[in-house]
Structure 1
Amino acid sequence: MDETTVQLLCPECTKDWQSAPGELPESADMFHCPNCHASRRMAEFMRTDRDLQTLKQLG
């Protein structure tokens, strides 16, 4: 069984990683980069619009 993931990219330190949408906050909620601790809306960490749509649908 494949688990859906979204690609994330920190706009501050450019760390990239992936995570399951269910493990992330809503797109408008604040999120903190695990690498540099930058704080922004979750939507700003989505690598692509498709990742954002996946988060909104499955998150």
Structure 2
Amino acid sequence: MDETTVQLLCPECAKNWQVSPGELPESTDLFHCPNCHASRRTAEFMRTDRDLKTLKQLG
């Protein structure tokens, strides 16, 4: 069985990576980029609307 992941993109440093939605805080909670440590709502790191929807459903 494949594990579901969401794609993230840092709005400040443009780091692009993917992670399991269960490893992320809620979409409205603060999240920190592991590369540049920018702090924003988790939703702002979602690369696409589909990633955000997946986070809200499975996170």
Provide the TM-score with structure 1 as the length reference: 0.99
Q: For residues 2-43 of structure 1, what are the alpha-carbon distances to aligned partners after superposition, in whole Å with 9 as ceiling and x for unaligned? A: 000000000000000000000000000000000000000000
Mapped partners of 1:50, 1:23: distance in 2? 17
Q: Is 2:17 the partner of 1:17?
A: yes
Calculate percent identity across the aligned residue pairs.
86
AA partner of residue 54 (structure 1): T
Give the aligned CA root-mean-square deviation in angstroms: 0.2
Please, which runs of 5 or more residues in structure 2 have no aligned partner? Answer: none
2:40 aligns to what? 40
Count residues in correspondence.
59
Gaps of 5+ in 1: none
| Counterpart for residue 53 of structure 1 | 53
Spell out structure 1 runs of 4+ moving beyond 3 A: none
